[in-house]
Structure 1
Amino acid sequence: MSNDPGLYDYIPYNRRPRITWPNGAKIAVWVAPNIEFYEFTPPPNPQRTPWARPLPDVLAYSHRDYGNRVGWWRMMEAMDDAGFRGSVSLNVALCDHHPEIIEACAKRDWEFFSHGIYNTRYTYGMSPDQERAIIEDSIETIRKWTGQKLSGWLAPALSNNTWTMDLLAEYGVDYTCDLFHDDQPMPVNVKSGRLISMPYSLEMNDVIVYNTNLYSPRHYGEAIKRQFDQLREEGETSGTVMCIPLHPYLVGQPHRIDPFAEALRYIAQHDDVWLATGREIAEHFYAHSYDPMVKAIEAVRA
């Protein structure tokens, strides 16, 4: 008996139809800042404790609040300077707590996708109807505050249930960032409708880089450039996707911002890169590559 959940099919990197990006770009690069709100004393979850220390965890709460107060503005300036628009992984409750951030992002034509309501509330142990309520809240809140359709999904703290992908497709969400299995968009197996996985790298995520791998800021900047160089080279054969997931309370620290900003400028100086949003990448993939990829997967499966 297989333990494979069947979320997606296997197709080797070298047996896929060629993906093309606009204007002959070899690589699509998108930046995904996580704009989050962490509750001071969140409700308990039976499967995961939001804070590592006893409540109230003043240290952890205030450290993350630094991102919304200071680090976010510093990060945004670095992105502006390099010509990047962001795709905001949004805890939608932040719209009520810090509307100034929403306004600044919307003014820059950034995308907003859902990262749940609060980053301290997980979907573990929820019923399908409870999870539906979160999706509906996210759809309505993003439409109310930005006028945008909800296109993407990153579950709070990457908490999923076996039915999560089916629900996203049911509600017309175009892409999920909760799968980390590829460097190209891939079809996700859902009961009805369509859903794709969007490359969203743990390796480039500043939480993993700084808190787990203990990189220095300079090392992180170099890793971003090396990731770009390799995927750009492979993009000669078929278009690739690179994501830089960020958290302003980390990358927005004064001693970290310059190497990050320099790495963005390095990427932007190339003329064969598409600086895109997650929604733009998904729309282009659906229009030009989704059907050929499904047919290729069916051939491999057969």
Structure 2
Amino acid sequence: MARDPGFYDYLPYDDRRPPIRWPGGARVAFWVAPNVEFYELNPPRNPARAPWARPAPDVQNYSYRDYGNRVGFWRMLDAMKRCNMRGSVSLNVAVCEHHPEVIEACAENGWEFYSHGTYNTRYLMGMTEAQERAVIQDSIDTIKKHTGQKLDGWLAPALTYTERTMDLVAEMGLTYVCDLFHDDQPGPVRVKKGKLTSIPYSLEMNDTIVYNVNLVSPRRYADILKRQFDRLYAEGEKSGTVMCIPLHPYLIGQPYRLAAFEEALSYITSHDKVWLATGREIAAHYNEHYHDAFAAAALPVGEAP
């Protein structure tokens, strides 16, 4: 039986060489990843996973998430603008058709778009290679058509994959993925063709985990974000780290949650030596300067000391 997924090799955090240096001498590459999503009321059935907890039509859960595109997104956008923070949009590309006004607002503010699949209610598991290629190509084409941007990043819809996903996104020209949660620095992903990097995208900082799983208060979430940043900022003096805040507008955009998020965001962005980046920018810098050296130094997991 395989010991690990085989997507990455082992390189101890404590003494990696060369040390990562971010632009401008920054200690932390900081990025914010709003998940701009669309959930279908009654999507096609996937035998491996039901889209809703309640019988169809699950109006309760559908409308709860619809709040994000109608209301929560706009509050989140204003808070990020006040802190001069661009977003890297984890995009269900169907939003381009359902809510073009949201896409336009992101583009106007210089945000990056990367793919989170077509809908968050359509999963990759169980797809054939041809079907999965079609989903990736649709993301490439739709983002180019509606935003003019090249697609560089991938976060699988609802975090669902096949054994081919990493190889396919690399082969089709993408440069980074957010689906691996194994590190606080970027790292090479083992693929058959191309060059692919894993960019840290933290489940611990993700508002879905914080609010819906760990059931913490908004004030506690602000404290968590600050503590995460403080540790990564201190360690980043030795070798640059990455901090990500993944967000969902239907959660972070609730009126009573927004002030605590903005407080933490203001705290982080007010520090010197913080690179306010996008996922694409982090991946490009790492791929140019560190990917090959880290890949050469790492050991397969089975050979790790």
Stretches of structure 2 that go unaligned for 5 or more consecutive residues are: none
Give the match for residue 140 of structure 1: 141
Distance in 1 of aligned mates of 2:139 and 2:2: 35
3-state SS of 2:298 partner: helix
**Amino acid paired to 2:202:** S
Are 1:196 and 2:197 matched, yes or no?
Answer: yes
Contact 2:11 2:298 in 1 (8 A): yes
**Amino acid paired to 1:200:** Y
**Amino acid paired to 2:91:** L
Deviations 1:252-288 (A, max 9, x none): 0000000000100000110110010000000111111
Stretches of structure 1 that go unaligned for 5 or more consecutive residues are: none
Q: What is the TM-score with the length of structure 1 in the denominator?
A: 0.98
3-state SS of 1:274 partner: strand
**Amino acid paired to 2:16:** R
**Amino acid paired to 2:71:** V
Give the match for residue 178 of structure 2: 177
Deviation, 1:15, is 2.7
Contact 2:10 2:300 in 1 (8 A): no
3-state SS of 2:45 partner: coil
Deviations 1:122-143 (A, max 9, x none): 0110011100000000000000
Give the match for residue 270 of structure 1: 271
Are 1:42 and 2:51 matched, yes or no?
Answer: no
Give the match for residue 15 of structure 2: 15
Q: Percent identity?
A: 66
Give the match for residue 245 of structure 1: 246
Deviation, 1:299, is 10
Give the match for residue 4 of structure 1: 4
Are 1:187 and 2:205 matched, yes or no?
Answer: no
Contact 2:92 2:120 in 1 (8 A): yes
Distance in 1 of aligned mates of 2:130 and 2:93: 19
Give the match for residue 285 of structure 1: 286
Distance in 2 of aligned mates of 1:4 and 1:200: 19
3-state SS of 1:49 partner: coil
Deviation, 1:2, is 3.6
Distance in 2 of aligned mates of 1:45 and 1:190: 27
3-state SS of 2:34 partner: strand
Q: Which residues in structure 2 correspond to 1:21-40 (within 5 Å)?
A: 21-40=22-41
3-state SS of 1:33 partner: strand
**Amino acid paired to 1:10:** Y
3-state SS of 1:196 partner: strand
**Amino acid paired to 1:140:** D
Distance in 1 of aligned mates of 2:27 and 2:275: 8
Contact 2:10 2:299 in 1 (8 A): no
Deviation, 1:298, is 5.4
Deviant stretches of 4+, over 4 Å:
298-302
Give the match for residue 210 of structure 1: 211
Give the match for residue 69 of structure 2: 68
Distance in 1 of aligned mates of 2:2 and 2:95: 41
Give the match for residue 235 of structure 1: 236
Distance in 2 of aligned mates of 1:249 and 1:161: 28
Deviation, 1:5, is 2.4
Deviation, 1:294, is 1.7
Distance in 2 of aligned mates of 1:224 and 1:184: 17
Q: Which residues in structure 2 correspond to 1:63-142 (within 5 Å)?
A: 63-142=64-143
Give the match for residue 223 of structure 1: 224
**Amino acid paired to 1:225:** K
Q: What is the TM-score with the length of structure 2 in the denominator?
A: 0.97
Deviations 1:103-134 (A, max 9, x none): 01001110000000000000110011100000
